[in-house]
Amino acid sequence: MTQSRLDKLTASLRTSSLDAVVLNPGPTLKYLTNLNFHLMERPVVLFIAPGRDPVIVLPELEMPKVDLFPYKVQAFAYGEIPSEWDNAFRSAAQALGLDGKRIGVEPRQMRLLEFRHVKAGAPEADYPDAADILAGLRLRKDKAEVDAMRHAVKIAQDALTATIPLIKIGMTEKELSGELVMQLLRHGSEPEMPFAPIVSGGPNSANPHASPTERKLQAGDLLVVDWGAAYDSYISDLTRTFAVGEVDAEYAKIHKIVQEANAAGRAAAQPGVPCANVDKAAREVIEKSGYGAYFTHRTGHGIGMEGHEDPYMRGDNMQILEPGMAFTVEPGIYLPNRNGVRIEDNVVITEDGADCLSDMPREIKVVG
C-alpha cells in the first residue's frame, strides 16, 4: 500500500512543475511510510524525487527505523553536534541533484527549523508550495481508511455515552473534559488524540473553540462537547450539545434549528456537487430562522489523518465532492455571552451518495 502511495506521488510530480518534495514528521510522512517520527529539536526530513529512491536525513539515534521502510531509501545520519547537521542535508540534496531545482514544501507542516537545514543543503533551489499535490494524495480515502475512521467514530461515541451519566451540575468544564479523556482511552482511542476535547457551558459555549475552564456547570446552560478519538492513525471529530437542566425556550429553539441545519448539510453531501452546496444548505436553514449572523464559521472541514484537511465545506469552495472524500458537517449558532449550539457529524462520500459515520442522537438531551 505504501509503495502505491509513493508511486502516486511521484506520478503527480512528473506532471507538475516540481522536481521533488520534502517532508518532515507529520501525517503525510506517516501516510507514505507507515512510520512514526517525532517532531522534535532534531530535524527529520524525507526527500522524494521521481525516478530516484527517496532520501532521508535523520539523527543517528533514529537509524534503526531505516530498516523498517517499506521501500528502499538512502539515509544520511547526523550526530549530536548541530553545527555539523547541514553536512547531512548537503549530502542528501547532492544525492538527488536538487540544488537549483524546484523543491516543493508542505507549508502547514514544514517548520523554519527544518527549512533552514534544507535550504542550507540546496541554497540555489526554489521552494514553492506543494500543498495541492500533497493534499490530493490523501484526499480520497480507501476502504481501509474509512474503516479506521468508522472505528474512531465508534470509540468516540461509546466514550461520550459512558461519560454522560457522570455529568452533574456543579462539575467544572475541566473535570468533565478529564472524565471524557479517560473514557476515550478506556474505549480504545490512541493516546495521541486528534485534539483536546472542547467542553464549554453557558457563555463559554458561545465561543466555538473554547478551552475547558474552572467554570462550573449551571442549570440553564447549554453544554457543547466537541470531541474525537484516534484509531490506526485516523480520527473522528464530533460535537453534541446538551441542556443542563431546564433551559430557556430560545435555547431549545436554536438547538432545533442547528439540528435541522445539520440534517440539511448532510443531505446536500452527494458525489458530483460542489463543497459550497453543503455549506449553503446548512447556512440557509439558520439564515431563514433569523440567526444567520450567529453562524460564524464554515460548515465543515476534511478529516482523515488530520483533524483539519481538504476538502473544506465553505461557501466559496467549488471543489467537486468525489467518492472517498471525508469531512465534517458542523453548523452552529453562538449567542455572545449567553449560550451556543453546535452539532457535528462525520460524512464520507460514496459512489451513489454519502455515508454518515456517526449516529449518536442529535436531539437535545437533558443532563445534570
Tens of pLDDT, residue by residue over 123-168, are: 999 999 999 999 999 999 999 999 999 999 999 999 999 999 999 9
Q: What is the CATH number of the domain that holds 40?
A: 3.40.350.10
- In this predicted structure, what is the pLDDT of residue 118? 98
Q: What is the CATH number of the domain that holds 338?
A: 3.90.230.10
pLDDT in tens, 216-236: 999 999 999 999 999 999 999
36 vs 207: CA distance, rounded Å: 34
* Rounded to 5°, angle at Cα 114 from 113 and 115: 95
Confidence of residue 91 (pLDDT cuts 50, 70, 90): very high
Confidence of residue 177 (pLDDT cuts 50, 70, 90): very high
The three three-digit cell numbers of residue 4, written as one number: 502505491
Are 325 and 311 spatial neighbours (Cβ–Cβ below 8 Å)? yes
Domain range enclosing 47? 2-138
Are 202 and 105 within one domain? no
Mean pLDDT value of segment 326-354: 98
pLDDT in tens, 273-310: 999 999 999 999 999 999 999 999 999 999 999 999 99
Are 162 and 71 within one domain? no
pLDDT in tens, 74-83: 999 999 999 9
Is the pLDDT at 170 greater than 90? The verdict is yes
Are 200 and 130 within one domain? no
Number of residues that this document lists for the chain: 368
Are 164 and 22 within one domain? no
- Which residue's entry shows cell 460535537? 239
Are 74 and 148 within one domain? no
Are 190 and 278 within one domain? yes
Are 34 and 76 within one domain? yes
Are 37 and 56 within one domain? yes
pLDDT in tens, 92-101: 999 999 999 9
Question: Which residue, 91, 122, 138, sits at the end of a domain?
Answer: 138
Are 209 and 356 within one domain? yes
1 vs 9: CA distance, rounded Å: 13
326 vs 314: CA distance, rounded Å: 14
143 vs 233: CA distance, rounded Å: 14
pLDDT in tens, 249-268: 999 999 999 999 999 999 99
Is the pLDDT at 23 greater than 90? The verdict is yes
Question: Which residue, 138, 153, 184, sits at the end of a domain?
Answer: 138
Question: Which residue, 138, 159, 181, sits at the end of a domain?
Answer: 138
pLDDT in tens, 308-324: 999 999 999 999 999 99
Are 218 and 351 within one domain? yes
Are 17 and 166 within one domain? no
CA distances (Å), origin 184, targets 85, 146, 178, 287, 346? 40, 20, 10, 35, 17
CA distances (Å), origin 223, targets 219, 239, 296? 10, 10, 18
pTM of the predicted model, to two decimals? 0.94
- In this predicted structure, what is the pLDDT of residue 1? 79
Burial of residue 197 (number of CB atoms within 10 Å: 0-12, 13-18, 19+) = buried
* Mean pLDDT score across all residues of the chain: 97
Burial of residue 80 (number of CB atoms within 10 Å: 0-12, 13-18, 19+) = exposed
Q: How many domains does the chain have?
A: 2
Are 149 and 242 within one domain? yes
